[in-house]
Amino acid sequence: MANLLVLVRHGQSEWNEKNLFTGWRDPGLTEQGKAEAKEAGETMKQAGLAFDVAYTSNLSRAQETNRIMLAELGQSDIEIVKDEALNERDYGDLSGLNKDDARQKWGEEQVHIWRRSYDVPPPGGESLKMTAERVLPYFEREILPRVLKGERVLVAAHGNSLRALVMQLDKLNQEQVIALNIATGAPIVYELDDSGKVLSKKMLIEREAH
């Protein structure tokens, strides 16, 4: 029996809808975001998935997504672990700014570098490399051992914290992970062997990533 790990990016947040840099700020889900989380839970239930433990970040949009999914699965009583190691990338001085306004202030090219480069952080914030440096040790220390013990693990987190995990699981290089986008509310189902190597990967919902 393969070991189960499912990754889900939170549903659309109020700041996603407004095209704002969010990072560690804490807006809630939109109605669309709640519907995406509900669909994710329903789809996992239809696929016959169930979980022993769920991990999420310290931010409410991921926690609410996790709560809605588990309710749809009929599993609201399982263990839930919250940790800021799984938080979104910190956008520093960009947090709360409209992305178009940021381009006007710093220029299209500079904002593109901050958003899509691997190791160039925005002012006062984190690069994807820095995000990975807190996400991956936590994953290897806390989450992966439970997966390899045979526990079925759900992770409800954020676009960049999950990009760091997918980079490691899929063995992507820096150029490949820069091009990777993870859609909101779309479960990514991994089966791992007993050494942590990926045996299979399946997207349960095809949704355009923003």
Catalytic residue selected from 72, 88, 126, 158: 88
* Residue 165 and residue 153 in contact, taking contact as beta carbons nearer than 8 Å: no
DSSP single-letter state for residue 86: G
The yes-or-no answer on residue 133 being catalytic is no
Q: For CA atoms 107, 112, 115, 117, give the dihedral sign.
A: negative
Q: In sequence order, what are the beta bridge partners of 81?
A: 55
* Rg for the chain, CA atoms, rounded: 16
Contacting residues for 26 by C-beta, under 8 A, at least 6 apart: 59, 60, 61
The yes-or-no answer on residue 210 being catalytic is no
Q: Residue 135 corresponds to which amino acid?
A: V
What is the rounded CA–CA span in Å between residue 125 and residue 24? 10
What is the rounded CA–CA span in Å between residue 196 and residue 132? 18
Catalytic machinery residues: 10, 88
